[in-house]
Structures are given as C-alpha cells and as structure tokens.
Structure 1
Amino acid sequence: MIFFVGITAWTQGEHRRRLELWSTLTETGTAEGLAPSTIRDMRLYAGQAGIFFDGEGSWNTGGPGRVALTLKLTDKTYADNATDDQLDYHYPSTERHPSFDRNEIASVKRAQGLGLPLFITSPNRLQKSRTDVRLGYVDAYRDDEAMFFVTFVESILPLATPDELPATDDDAALFGGLPEQTLRLVQQRTQQRRFKTDVLRRYGEKCALCDITTPRLIQGAHLIPKSIGGADDALNGLPLCLNHHTAFDAFLLRIAPDGSSITYAPGVSKSLLQVTHDDLTHLPAKPSSKALSRFYRTDAAKAAFATWA
C-alpha cells in the first residue's frame, strides 16, 4: 500500500491513481458494457451502498478521511435524474445506522473539495447484467434538497494547484466547493444545468410548445440570449425540446410577449413544426413579457421578422 504525506501530496497521488483507473477502463475505447468482475477487480465498487469509498485506495495514512470514489445508479432506490451532461444524485437515506449515510455524504463532499473526479456506474442499457462507467465532478450540492449536482466529463481534468487544495481536514475550503481551477473548467456546463433546473421548476417538466415530457429531451431556452446579456433566470426562459428550441432561435415562430398567441414564418406552420399548443396559457407560470419584447427589438429579430411581411 502506498502512503502519502499530507493532504496535498495524498490528493496528487489519488488523482494519479484515478487517472490510471480511467486509462485502464477506456483502453479498448469505451467504458461501457463492463463485466461485474472487472468492476470488482479494479475496486471501483463493492458492497451494496450507492456511494463507495475504497478502504485501501482512498482512505489511508496522510489522507483527509473517507473520500468517495464511485456513485452507483440503479434507477430503483431514488429518482436520480441523469442526462448526457449532468446528474442530480440524491443523498442516501437508508434504514442503516444514520452514521453510515452521513459518512457517505461527507465522502462525496470531500471528493468535491479536493477536486477529484468520481466514477459513476449504471446498468448497461442493452445488457443489464453489465455496467457502464462515466466520469463526473460534483460541482454543487444542496443540503436542503439532499442532492448532489454532478457534471459529466469525457476525461479527468488537471488537478488544482497545491495552494488551492485544503491544508487540513478541518480546512473550511474542503467543504466549500470545487477548487477554483477545477471549477472554471466545469462552470459553463454547471450554469446551463442550473438554469434548466430552475426553468423546469417554474414551468413544469414539459416542452412549452408540444407534449414531450422526458426531462433529458427538454432544454432551458433563453428568451434573451446569453450572448447579448440574457440572464440565467427562469423568467428569461422556457422549457423547449431541441426541435422547438431550434425553431425559436431560428425565428421560425414568434410567441406573443404576453403568451397569448404563436405565429409562424412564411412557409412554416403549426403542424409542420409539430406544435400542439396555440399559446402559453397552459403553463403554470408565465415568462417575462419584457424579456420577449426586448428579444424582438434586437437587430437579428427585426431583420428576421421583416421578411415575414
């Protein structure tokens, strides 16, 4: 067993170890459809808990305590919401002694504070007996919602500089979020996910223009684009499926600022775009009429709508 002296040195060693694990997992080009024996032999996961920390590899002399290595998705115990880019992972709430759940939650927060990636396992879609493995970083968590917010990545990010890592286990920075350098690398995706979450909370998990209700197929669409100063505020958004998000951005349709009607560009129709609503009155809340009005005053919108006449 390798022992690292001090949290900084331990974190550097653990980061290298996880790099090596991921390299081994993907040496055939993908980490999908792995046999259970592969997961066990690499000590990526063992036991029944949803959160796994390796007692031999990530909890030893010089380390900060238990540091999560793997999150297990089963789609049975909790309604964890995983998309191609993000994962909302519930805190464990089991019938075991409360200390077990608390320790597992703390281990994930430690991984976040140290800027270490997590392996996320889930059943393979075609062969349930086999396992898919992905990489992710906990970019935020909310104790009041008992939820970790994870951003998936394709490869392990560079480790933060030593001065950004906590010096001791009591260091408040250990539980204060990702190190700044790591945070910058995932921040853009994080903002997109949080905006989508807020939009779905305000308007419901359904496309505002059709009947698609699958969350992973719905996007948070900005009314005033971020490129011209649009805010990541649910009032400046609508839940739209990819097709209708594209149609809105391409000025193929126009939603009245008060949401009372939807009109279409020449040669485009409600049926052609497969829109199933005539207005936004069915939504539980309204978007900002000022946001839509401002969007329609932009040069791009005025130029597009001028061709409608």
Structure 2
Amino acid sequence: HTGEHYPDGLSDGELIYKYPDTRRPGTTDAAEIEATKNAALGNVPIFVILRSEENSDLRDIYRGQVTDWNDEAEEFLIRFSSDPALLQVEGEDTAEKAQEGKEERALADGEEAGDKEGEFDLTADKAGKKKERHARPDQSQFRFKVKKRYGLRCAVCEMSTEQLLEAAHFRGRGQEGSNDPRNGIVLCRNHHKAFDDGLFAVRPDTLEVYLKESGPSAEELGITRPQLEPKRETPHQRALQWAWNRWQEALEDENARPVA
C-alpha cells in the first residue's frame, strides 16, 4: 500500500485494500482476489507492506489478517500489526458467512428480527473500560462496514460515485459516538457536511428528512429524497434518536419542515 491512490484507506492497524485491476493477461487479477478471500475464510495470515515512516525508500512489513470484503465496493478490510498477538482472528466477522451465522443463531434463540445483529453501543469505550478484544475498531473499519451495510449511494440524493461517498456518524466521534456501522449512514461529501452542520436531520420514527424553516431548501441543498432510503439496512433507532434530539435542541423556537 503506497498511500498514493487511496490515502484514506489506511489507519492505525487497519487497511482498506482495493481489488486489483491491473488488466494483466488471463485471470491473474481474479485469482488474486479469490486467494485473498480464501485467506479470510481460512484465517491464513498475509503480509502488509507499507512505506517506512522513517525512510520512504524502505518498506515496513507487518503480519496481516483479512477480516472482511465487499464485492460491491471491490475492497478488502485488513487488520495488521507488528505483533501477531494483537491480531484478533477468532470471533471476527469474516465476510458474509460470519454475519449469516450470527443472524441464524439470533433467530434460533428467539430474538426479534430487529435485534438480530446483537448489542448496540452508541458510545465509544470510555477510558478505563476494557472490552475483550485486542484491537480497537478504527475509522477505516467504520467506513468499510457502513458502505457494505448500506450500499454505494447517498441516502438523500442520487450520488453513487464511490470516491464522493463518505461514512457519516449520527453520534460523532467528538461526542463519544461509537464506530458501530449502525451509528452511521452513507452520504455524499456535500450532504455529509450539511448534516454535520445541522442543515437537515432525519426523524427517527418515519425516516423523513427535515429542514430548518429558515434554512436552505431541499433544492438548494440538492436533497432529492424526502425519506432516508439506505439501499439495504436502516440505522439503529438509538443513533437516529440521539441525532434528532440534538438537532431539535439546537432549533430552540425555530420550526422545522419535512422535505416535500
């Protein structure tokens, strides 16, 4: 990973690796993709090679583990460390099979369909609170899992160009929000900025998009969808409610209106 083509895909201990598209003869690229998936399914470690921070002419080599992949976005999520003991393999979501297994077990235990994904943490771990895992989820993992969960399209407009899509938090990291993908949604860059600035909000019970009465119109903001329409799943109700309550408090006496 050189950091030149996908600089935002690298964070501490995690890497988003795009499927190779070198157009080499034959099935070389396809074989590499299949081998990388098999490494995930078989818990086979791989090497992650990065440019050295001390000398750009040198390379640092880490032990890595492929933890998930997304065929729609054509990318792998890889965890790496200089200490193999810090790589959590057992219990990690390994592609679709792990999630399907979770859902089947949850339904077998009699859980409601809406709770089949297990416990939801709206806030990040507080100092001094330790969880039984060796590596902490980082921004790369959040971005990867949000796009895999919701699909490659802005939730409030028609933008589907992947380079312009971002993973937005409902409860942000600055407010101790977690990196659980259910605390996020896919938005284009413009609407991510507009959402963070409070120019629109999402009503939790109806998923309708609301605007400030005195603020920019839907047309001015480029919002084309009056209701949140993630491609597959919906965010967690607690995340939606937290963001809605905070937006309502900021309105004070000002009115709000749904997008027509």
> Does residue 85 of the first structure (1) align with residue 33 of the second (2)?
no
Using the size of structure 1 for normalisation, the TM-score is 0.46
Cα 1:233–1:138, aligned 2, differ >3 Å: closer, same or farther?
Answer: farther
1:94 correspondence with 2:28: yes
Specify whether residues 270 and 195 from structure 1 end up closer, same or farther in structure 2 by C-alpha distance, changes over 3 A only: same
- The CA distance in 2 between the partners of 1:215 and 1:138, in whole Å, is 28
CA contact 1:207–1:239 (8 Å) conserved in 2: yes
Q: Which residue of 1 aligns with 2:153?
A: 206
Query: Which structure 2 segments of 5+ residues have no match?
Result: 10-15, 22-26, 40-44, 70-74, 89-134, 256-260
Question: Percent of aligned positions with the same letter in both sequences?
Answer: 24
Deviations 1:216-249 (A, max 9, x none): 2111101111222211111111101111111111
Instruction: Deviation per CA, 1:152-188: give whole Å up to 9, x if none.
Output: xxxxxxxxxxxx967xxxxx55x959xxxxxxxxx99
Does the 8 A contact of 1:91 with 1:147 survive in 2? no
- Alignment partner, residue 220 of structure 1: 167
Cα distance per residue 1:46-70 (max 9 Å; x no partner): xxxxxxxxxxxxxxxxxxxxxxxx7
Contact 1:91 1:148 in 2 (8 A): no
Whether the aligned pair in 1 keeps the contact of 2:166 and 2:189 (CA below 8 Å) is: yes
The runs of at least 4 aligned residues of structure 1 exceeding 3 Å deviation read: 89-95, 108-112, 135-141, 143-151
Q: Partners in 2 of 1:148 and 1:289 — Cα distance?
A: 26
Q: 1:136 to 1:200 in 2, by over 3 A?
A: farther
Q: 1:244 aligns to what SS in structure 2?
A: helix
Q: Which amino acid aligns with 2:165?
A: I
Say which SS state the counterpart of residue 220 (structure 1) adopts: strand
The answer to whether 1:289 aligns with 2:237 is yes
Structure 2 residue aligned with 1:21: none
TM-aligned CA distance change 1:271 to 1:176, over 3 Å: same
Partners of 2:60 and 2:193 in 1: CA distance: 28
The answer to whether the Cα contact below 8 Å between 1:88 and 1:149 also exists between their aligned partners in 2 is: yes
Match of 1:308 among 249, 254, 258: 254
Q: Match of 2:167, SS?
A: strand
Mark the CA change 1:147 to 1:244 in structure 2 (over 3 Å): closer, same or farther: closer
Counterpart Cα distance in 2 of 1:139 and 1:259: 46
Larger Rg: 1
Aligned to 1:253: 200
Separation in structure 1 between the aligned mates of residue 173 and residue 149 of structure 2, nearest angstrom: 19
Unmatched segments (≥5 aa) in structure 1: 1-69, 74-81, 120-132, 152-163, 167-171, 178-186
CA deviations over 1:180-206 (Å, ceiling 9, x no partner): xxxxxxx99x72121111111111111
Instruction: Give the superposition deviation at 1:304.
Output: 2.0
Equivalences for 1:1-309 in 2 at 5 Å?
Answer: 83-86=6-9, 87-90=16-19, 94=28, 109-111=46-48, 117=51, 141-142=65-66, 145=69, 147=76, 149=78, 176=87, 191-265=138-212, 266-281=214-229, 283-298=231-246, 301-309=247-255
Q: 1:94 to 1:223 in 2, by over 3 A?
A: same
2:121 matched to which residue of 1?
none
The one-letter amino acid of 2:186's match is: P
Let me know the Cα RMSD of the aligned residues: 4.4
Q: Kindly provide the amino acid, as one letter, of the partner of residue 270 in structure 1.
A: A
Once the two structures are superposed, residues 114-145 of structure 1 have per-residue CA deviations (whole angstroms, 9 ceiling, x without a partner) of: xx5379xxxxxxxxxxxxx9x99879541664
How many angstroms apart in 2 are the aligned matches of 1:270 and 1:138?
47
Q: State the TM-score, normalizing by the size of structure 2.
A: 0.53
Amino acid at match of 2:138: Q
Higher relative contact order (CA 8 A, sep 6+): 2
